[in-house]
Amino acid sequence: MSANGLRVIDDRFELVQRLGGGGMGTVWRARDLALHRDVALKEVRPQGADEDAESVRTLRARVLREARALARVDHPNVVTIHHIVDGGSGTYPWLVMELVTGGSLQDRLDRGPMTPTDAARLGRDLLAALVAAHAHGVEHRDVKPANVLLRPDGRPVLTDFGIAALQESTRLTATGSIIGSPDYMSPERVRGEDGGPPADLWSLGMLLYVAVEGHHPLRRGSTLATLAAVLHDEVPEPRRAGPLAGILMSLLVHDPAARPDAAALDRRLAHAAGEPIGPGSPSAAPAPGLADRVPPAAPADATSFRIAPPEPVDEPGAARVRIRVGTPYQPSRGRAVAAAIGVVSVLLSIGAPLFFLVRSALHDAQGDTAERTPATAAPTPGADATGAPEHKNLLTPDGIRTAIAELKPVMGTSKATSFVVYPDSVSAQALVKGSTKRYDRYAYRGGDAAVRDGAGGTVMTGTVATDLESIDWDAVPKLLKRAEAELGVAEPTNRYLVLNPRSTLLHTGPGISVYLSDDYGSAYLKADADGKVIEVSPQEH
């Protein structure tokens, strides 16, 4: 005990406040009396585990082994282990970790679902954390919102890595209880199989599904019913996931071999988030010369699960076939949004988020219950070729100019580093006043006021903010018509437009690209600021 009556562990860590607890132990906020800093202290004492000496020895040995392995993982999205307090044989160890003060992802989701763009960014960060740990032989086995902590700036940190990996040993000594989270366990782990990295990817997919949809698709009234649903039920297609829909459905398949690997998944998440493939990301590849950075076409799942050398290269991808246990191969019914395109077009459209806004609670409160025609729907009477009702369609010259007029006072400028237009929503990125690198995100949905959508990040080197009012938006209808005729996408499920800002790195001027996509991928048509077509990239068949 310390002088103020608080409990002190190992004569060094003063327990200040209980932060939480679960099946694998209790977490405390503690004060490191030697280094004068706050830390998180976790006592590993699983609920339901037998207290016999052999069980305690087995658990202690595994905790120490997994914690030491995790301590070798140096990654910003993996919780840092500072120290292990080991009292010797017959005791439970304590783990001393960095203190992450922004609450958990579960706390964030309790306030409402995330946008698909933000969820895709979150997914990339968590995927990078998983890949870094898998490279050291550490699997998580319990990826869920409660195990994702948030830094004050919103960046996620995956915690309870080594602790969750103890389930195999503790399951042998638990009396009829399940250690872990049935809601997020993969089917193979429910069956008692080891699972490997693909099982963690299932859990990541389920976490992202819950993040955008606001509910768990397989949760039932009891633990046994939930486990049965995970084993036997198909995951219903998400309704609010936008560009994440196809990604989620490719992850949440029963056959682990049918899930995308880390490299393919990162490329698809990057495309959905409107982000480049950066150094250190799971899909980074060896560095070619700048002039050689347009890779040949390759399937999105062509790379085996591995960590590739760092340097940004993107590749085209294809929708994945869904495989269900006990059923024949069948194509995905999900509307898979376009997988990552060639690196040059990604660089030109850097940071452009694929943004879908869900119906606001205000509209629901006002009785606006009529179903809005989705951006991916086929044309209907009273709608134009984009499938959106004419009075709400933003993918027209007038619609785009209306969006710019609404966004301009909120952004404080008409210049943007990113500008993406869908029939029913627009997202933009503009530099923070006084900065040449940092940007904020903005959003507009027809009929609603434009809003700041939060802090963004830093633009890619060479990106120059482009004046949206300098683009000839009257060319958009002709570009869409030509795209329909030449891109080879017979039945598009999605249409959108992306600003290509000027780049001093690539020596390119400003312009726009029009995209069409279906379940098999995307195609695009690129034009300059005056609407003159300079590149046509049709879909491969």
Residues known to be catalytic: 142
Give residues with Cβ within 8 angstroms of 161, minimum separation 6. 66, 70, 73, 78, 79, 133, 138, 140
Instruction: Please state, in angstroms and rounded to a whole number, the distance separating the CA atoms of residues 375 and 387.
Output: 6
Check: CB of residue 142 under 8 Å from CB of residue 135.
no
Beta bridge partners of 415: 467
Element (H, E) at 69: helix 53-71
Residue 65's identity, in one-letter code, is R
Say whether 365 sits in a helix, a strand or coil: helix
Check: CB of residue 531 under 8 Å from CB of residue 472.
yes
Residue 227's identity, in one-letter code, is L
* Whole-Å CA distances, 97 to 29, 43, 125: 10, 11, 19
Backbone angles phi, psi at 458, to 5 degrees: -120, 140
Instruction: Please state, in angstroms and rounded to a whole number, the distance separating the CA atoms of residues 305 and 295.
Output: 20
Give residues with Cβ within 8 angstroms of 290, minimum separation 6. none
Label residue 227 left, alpha or beta by phi (over 0 means left) and psi (-120 to 50 means alpha): alpha
Give residues with Cβ within 8 angstroms of 362, minimum separation 6. none
- Two tokens at 297? 């076409």
Check: CB of residue 212 under 8 Å from CB of residue 116.
yes
Say whether 61 sits in a helix, a strand or coil: helix
Strands (E), 34-116: 37-44, 81-85, 94-97
Check: CB of residue 43 under 8 Å from CB of residue 13.
no
Q: 108: closest CA among 155, 141, 143? A: 155
Give 3-state DSSP helix, strand, coil % of the chain, rounded to 5.
30, 20, 50
Q: What is the 3-state secondary structure (H, E, C) of 65-125?
A: HHHHHHHCCCCCCECCEEEEECCCCCCCCEEEECCCCCCEHHHHHCCCCCCHHHHHHHHHH
* Whole-Å CA distances, 205 to 90, 202, 209, 299, 347: 38, 5, 6, 20, 27
Q: How many CA atoms lie within 13 A of 399 on its CB side?
A: 26
Instruction: Tally the residues of the chain.
Output: 541
Check: CB of residue 501 under 8 Å from CB of residue 510.
yes
Q: CA-based Rg of the chain, rounded to a whole angstrom?
A: 25
Instruction: Please state, in angstroms and rounded to a whole number, the distance separating the CA atoms of residues 108 and 85.
Output: 32
Beta bridge partners of 150: 156
